[in-house]
Each structure stands twice: as structure tokens, then as C-alpha cells.
């Protein structure tokens, strides 16, 4: 770790050594800027090292117009940064600095090694090779201004003392409030607010949801693949997804995470929220009736309803499913009449998970909300309120679906900020 105590003046000080901060640091240092990155944790890129379950889904190769459709807020603001440094540039960059990549299902990009650490270590090493100084256990506690522009910062260092350092520019790239154990504890929001910036209410995004479904605790560990799910808010469908859903015991998995942003907002507003599952998307009601008739004939009329359900559903789902049907599991199949059959078919095509709450920031992948993008220039990432103040990454009010989009937001905005700073 470099020692900066003898150097009290920098062209650029960056608060946060995550994906956005490290990218901006290297790009600005390439242009000859003296750059100091202040990372509060014991090593930079803590969040990158655990993202994608430790595999690091660093971007997604969808075309720009499709990519922007996955950005849930401020997509117009983000478009210039994506145009300058998009997914193809990101792939080229990491392969150039020595990390082979692979493209997997859904156009998701991962390091070929399957190790997120390879991305983080190569990125940090590259940034230092460009001349950026990166110090850990060091936090920006205040940004100073004079005459409407940045003049320096106060740092809290490993020695727990305050040090004043001058700088002509400051980049806030402290991340959001998700996964606070990685250092994303919302420090940047306070710094931005003190400088006059509006903060759009922050809330968890890409986070598991809680359900009040009877016997939901018995579903822990169950994964439902190739299911169709619709998000209902006050009984109106607002989003549909297809893929995998998982109970952890909370409702999670890619399908749920993609729907969680709207679900969280609706829950905060006091609206009724539910996730409706089509457990048999490949079969229409007529085909389902034919399937049930075949299974019933094979089992025999004295078999119980629970035996039929075992032919149609994972074992863990039978009890909650039967409870929602309000039909006894031990009902003989010869007692299942047309009304009961209609209910079984109907619930296979629409199995409702009532959503009662959402999981906190500690379990959320990203943060929705943040520094208002209306007060930041999308062409430069510079504050419209304070000259020399820049923003990048999750601190901004930009968030997207799961699938590599959020890390690309960090890389794109960090690259643009570093590039614009280097051109000053």
C-alpha cells in the first residue's frame, strides 16, 4: 500500500476503491493526473470479489438498445456513458489486461477461470500500473469547497487521525448501501448531500422477497426451473419474467430479483403485492387435464390426492399447494369431482405467492435511488452544482436488472469520469 503522507496535493482524489473508482483512477492516471484512491476497507473491490456468487458477472453482451431496456432508472442519463465505454469495450479491456472471458447463457460475461478475484486483482493492478495510488483503511469524511469548486478533502486514516489533503477534483464512487459488509454503507450519500445534492430515496433492489404463503418454511432449498412468473400489484400485472425461482427460505432466484425493484416500491407505498407462478408453462389447461387423467388412471381411483400431486409437483411444494387449494391431501381420487379438478388445474397455472415484505440492504445486490442524476452532467459525470466534483457507480440513482448490467454501469460511468477528468 502506497504511502501518501509526503504528498499533500493531488489532481484527483477518489472516494471508494470499487469497480467505478478503480476504473476512473486508472484512466485519469493514464492522462498524467496525480490520483489518490481512498478505500475504507482492508482491500479494494470487496464487492466485486463476491459478485455473481464469487464468479463475477461483469457485463452483458446485449445490444445497446436492449441493454438500456434493462436499466430500471435513469437509462437516458446512462446512455452517453454506455456509448463511450460499453460491453464490448469492457470485454476488450479485461482481456487486454490479462483476464480471459467467456460468454454464458443470457449473454452474461464471466472470467473464464470462474473466479471474481481475477477480475478484481487485474483491475487494481492495472490501475496502479497507470500511476494511481490506492490506500486502504482510509475514508473521505468531508469534501471542501472554495468559490463553488472543490478544494480538497479531509481523510480519516488507519491511525484514526484526520488529515487534510488538497485536490482540484474529487470523484465520489463509494457505492450504495447494499452488502454493507463490503464497505458500501452509504457514506457517499451524506457527502453528496452536504454539498447540496438531492438524494432520491434509497431502497434495496435485486433483493429476496418474503411471502405469507402457508407452510412457506417447508420450501427452503426448493428451486423451480423454467417457470413463468407475473408480478401483481393491487391485482394488476405489471411485470412478467421466465426462468428460475428459488426459496432460501425467502422467495429469491433470478426471476424474483428482477421483479423485486417494483415489488419493493409497491410495498413501501402500502400496495398489495403478489407473485403469480405458472408451474406448468409448457401445458395449456386442456393438456393439463389430459395429463391428470392419465396419472389418475395409472394410480387408480383409491389413490389419494397427495399421490397425484407428487406426479405433478416437487415434493416440497405439495403441502403449500394443497393448503392453498383448500382440498384435503388425503382425498381419494374418485372423490375429486369437476369443481376440484378445475381448482387443481387453475392453481397449477396460477399459484399465488402473497408477498408480505422485502429483505434488507444486507441481502440486496444493489441499491435503488441515490444521487439525483438531474444534478449531474451525463456527458462528463461532473456535478452541475460544484465544479470539480464527479460521481460514478452505484452512488448515482441508476440501477438495473441482474445479469451483468450493474457492474457495466460502474465501469461505464467510472471510465467516462476518468476520461473527462484526464481531458481537463
The Cα–Cα gap between 352 and 346 comes to: 11
DSSP codes of every residue in 287-306? HHHHHHHHHHHHH-TTSBHH
The pLDDT tens digits of the residues spanning 373-400 come to: 999 999 999 999 999 999 999 999 999 9
User: Which of 3-7, 13-17, 173-177 has the lowest average pLDDT?
Assistant: 3-7
Nine cell digits for residue 270 = 402500502
Same domain, 216 and 197: no
Residue 304 CB coordination number (10 Å): 17
Read off the pLDDT of each residue in 218-239 and give the average, rounded to a whole number. Answer: 96
Q: What is the pLDDT of residue 336?
A: 87
Please give the share of the chain, as a percent, with pLDDT higher than 70.
98
Same domain, 352 and 415: no
Segment holding 250, helix H or strand E: none
The Cα–Cα gap between 290 and 3 comes to: 74
Inter-residue contact 383 to 376 (CB < 8 Å): yes
Same domain, 104 and 189: yes
**pTM of the entire structure?**
0.90
Compute CA distances 5 → 22, 36, 142, 263, whole Å. Answer: 21, 11, 18, 48
Nine cell digits for residue 174 = 463509494
Q: What is the pLDDT of residue 181?
A: 81
Inter-residue contact 59 to 404 (CB < 8 Å): yes
Same domain, 166 and 265: no
Please check whether residue 133 lies inside any domain of the structure: yes
Same domain, 41 and 185: yes
| pLDDT band at residue 186 under the 50/70/90 scheme | confident
Same domain, 28 and 149: yes
Please check whether residue 4 lies inside any domain of the structure: no
Please check whether residue 64 lies inside any domain of the structure: yes
Among 335, 359, 383, where does a domain finish? 359
| pLDDT band at residue 1 under the 50/70/90 scheme | very low
Same domain, 124 and 250: no
| pLDDT band at residue 424 under the 50/70/90 scheme | low
Statement: residue 329 has pLDDT above 90: no
The pLDDT tens digits of the residues spanning 410-420 come to: 999 999 999 99
Please check whether residue 3 lies inside any domain of the structure: no
Among 359, 384, 405, where does a domain finish? 359
CATH number at residue 47: 3.50.50.60
The Cα–Cα gap between 2 and 12 comes to: 16
Inter-residue contact 417 to 229 (CB < 8 Å): no
Same domain, 354 and 372: no
Same domain, 390 and 314: no
Residue 238 structural domain? 208-359
Same domain, 230 and 194: no
Of residues 250 and 7, the one with the higher pLDDT is: 250
Same domain, 181 and 250: no
The Cα–Cα gap between 64 and 60 comes to: 10
Same domain, 76 and 119: yes
Total domains present in the chain: 2
Amino acid at each position: 500500500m502506497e504511502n501518501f503522507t509526503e504528498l499533500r496535493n493531488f489532481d484527483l482524489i477518489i472516494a471508494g476503491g470499487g469497480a467505478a473508482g478503480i476504473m476512473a483512477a486508472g484512466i485519469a492516471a493514464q492522462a498524467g493526473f496525480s490520483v489518490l484512491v481512498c478505500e475504507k476497507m482492508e482491500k479494494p473491490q470487496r464487492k466485486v470479489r463476491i459478485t455473481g456468487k464469487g464468479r463475477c458477472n461483469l457485463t452483458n453482451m446485449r445490444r445497446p438498445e436492449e441493454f438500456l431496456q434493462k436499466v430500471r432508472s435513469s437509462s437516458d442519463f446512462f446512455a452517453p456513458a454506455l456509448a463511450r465505454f460499453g460491453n464490448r469495450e469492457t470485454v476488450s479491456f479485461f482481456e487486454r489486461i490479462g483476464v480471459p472471458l467467456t460468454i454464458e447463457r443470457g449473454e452474461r460475461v464471466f472470467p473464464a477461470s470462474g473466479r471474481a478475484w481475477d477480475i478484481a486483482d487485474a483491475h487494481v493492478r492495472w490501475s496502479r500500473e497507470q500511476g494511481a495510488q490506492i490506500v486502504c483503511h482510509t475514508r473521505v469524511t468531508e469534501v471542501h469547497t472554495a468559490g463553488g469548486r472543490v478544494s480538497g478533502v479531509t481523510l480519516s486514516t488507519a491511525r484514526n487521525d484526520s488529515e487534510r489533503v488538497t485536490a482540484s477534483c474529487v470523484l465520489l464512487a463509494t457505492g450504495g448501501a447494499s452488502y454493507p459488509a463490503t464497505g458500501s454503507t452509504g457514506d457517499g450519500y451524506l457527502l453528496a448531500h452536504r454539498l447540496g445534492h438531492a438524494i432520491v430515496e434509497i431502497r434495496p433492489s435485486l433483493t429476496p422477497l418474503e411471502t405469507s404463503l402457508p407452510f412457506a418454511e417447508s420450501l427452503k432449498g426448493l428451486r423451480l426451473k423454467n417457470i413463468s412468473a407475473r408480478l401483481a400489484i393491487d391485482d394488476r400485472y405489471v411485470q412478467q419474467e421466465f426462468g428460475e425461482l428459488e426459496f432460501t427460505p425467502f422467495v429469491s432466484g433470478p426471476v424474483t430479483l428482477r421483479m423485486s425493484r417494483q415489488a419493493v416500491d409497491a410495498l413501501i407505498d402500502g400496495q398489495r403485492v403478489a407473485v403469480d407462478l405458472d408451474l406448468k408453462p409448457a401445458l395449456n389447461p386442456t393438456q393439463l387435464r389430459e395429463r391428470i387423467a392419465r396419472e389418475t388412471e395409472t394410480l387408480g381411483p383409491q389413490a389419494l390426492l397427495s399421490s397425484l400431486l407428487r406426479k405433478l409437483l416437487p415434493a416440497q411444494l405439495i403441502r403449500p399447494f394443497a393448503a392453498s387449494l383448500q382440498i384435503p391431501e388425503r382425498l381419494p381420487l374418485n372423490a375429486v369431482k369437476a369443481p376440484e379438478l378445475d381448482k387443481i388445474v387453475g392453481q397449477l397455472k396460477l399459484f399465488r405467492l402473497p408477498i408480505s415484505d422485502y429483505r434488507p440492504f444486507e441481502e440486496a445486490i444493489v441499491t435503488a435511488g441515490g444521487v439525483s442524476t438531474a444534478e449531474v452532467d451525463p456527458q462528463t459525470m461532473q456535478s452541475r452544482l460544484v465544479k470539480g466534483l464527479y460521481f460514478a457507480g452505484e452512488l448515482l440513482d441508476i440501477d438495473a436488472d441482474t445479469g451483468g448490467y450493474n457492474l457495466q454501469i460502474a465501469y461505464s460511468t467510472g471510465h467516462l469520469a476518468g476520461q473527462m477528468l484526464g481531458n481537463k
